[in-house]
Amino acid sequence: TRLILATRNAGKITELHAILADAGLTHELVGAGAYPEIPDVKETGVTFAENALLKAHALAQATGHPAIADDSGLCVDVLGGAPGIFSARWSGTHGNDRANLDLLLAQLSDIDAPHRAAHFACAAALALPDGTERVVEGRLTGTLRHTPAGGYGFGYDPILQPDGETRTCAELTPTEKNAISHRGKAFRALVPVVRELVG
Ligand code: ITT
Ligand code: NA
């Protein structure tokens, strides 16, 4: 069965292919980029789960295939959970990872180590063309570095150091990151749901 990955974020697509293959999913995975005629859905939800469901439903409806979507972001304790659902557009330009990261570091420049707790959050949604939906969530907690380190991954990976790690997410290999990440946890939890509802 064809399964649509309702995302245009290249970093997510790479991770999802690895996570879902490792979990034994044998479906044909097709990114939203294969359907350029389908417009991007407005992320009008106020939670990761709402936005993930919006994206999954839009692609399932438009393609007639089951769709899975990810909505994710970085939640900083001292900022009351921001950037949160605004992580991809924190600097004003959607998807400018470097500008988003630089702005966040500037905003936190006076905050010392004990107060730099943060977590990545991911909501993983499955929607079927008939409107059936499921959503599950995963988290990765850690602390924020003052300077970026590492070349793997995407987004805020160079500044989040997971609890119990000495490296940032961008210094973990993709396999190491997927084993502990918010996205890894959420999509591994979604796989049995896909098996149940899609086959
Ligand atoms: P789609 O809506 O097409 O999926 P997007 O990039 O707009 O792509 P989101 O709205 O979910 O997706 O925003 C996710 C942002 O959160 C992303 O741009 C990163 O800045 C950040 N983020 C999410 N997961 C991350 C991870 O594993 N590592 C680093 N940053 C991450
Ligand atoms: Na979002």
Task: Report the atom number in ligand 1 closest to the C-alpha of 95.
Answer: 18
This complex has an ipTM of 0.97
List pocket residues of ligand 1, CB cut-off 6 Å. Answer: 7-9, 12, 43, 70-74, 87-88, 95, 97, 100, 120, 153-157, 169, 181, 183
Angle at 59 between CA 81 and CA 69, to 5 degrees: 35
Ligand 1, pocket-test mutation among 12, 59, 68, 185, most atoms within 8 A of CB: 12
Model pLDDT, residue 70: 97
Averaged pLDDT for residues 125-144: 98
Q: Are 160 and 100 in contact (CB under 8 A)?
A: no
Averaged pLDDT for residues 98-105: 98
Averaged pLDDT for residues 78-89: 98
Q: Nearest CA to 66 among 134, 121, 157, 113? A: 134
Q: What is the CATH number of domain 2-197?
A: 3.90.950.10
Model pLDDT, residue 160: 98
By three-state DSSP, how is residue 181 classified? coil
pLDDT tier, 59 (very low <50, low <70, confident <90, very high otherwise): very high
For CA atoms 24, 173, 94, 105, the dihedral sign is: positive
Model pLDDT, residue 144: 98
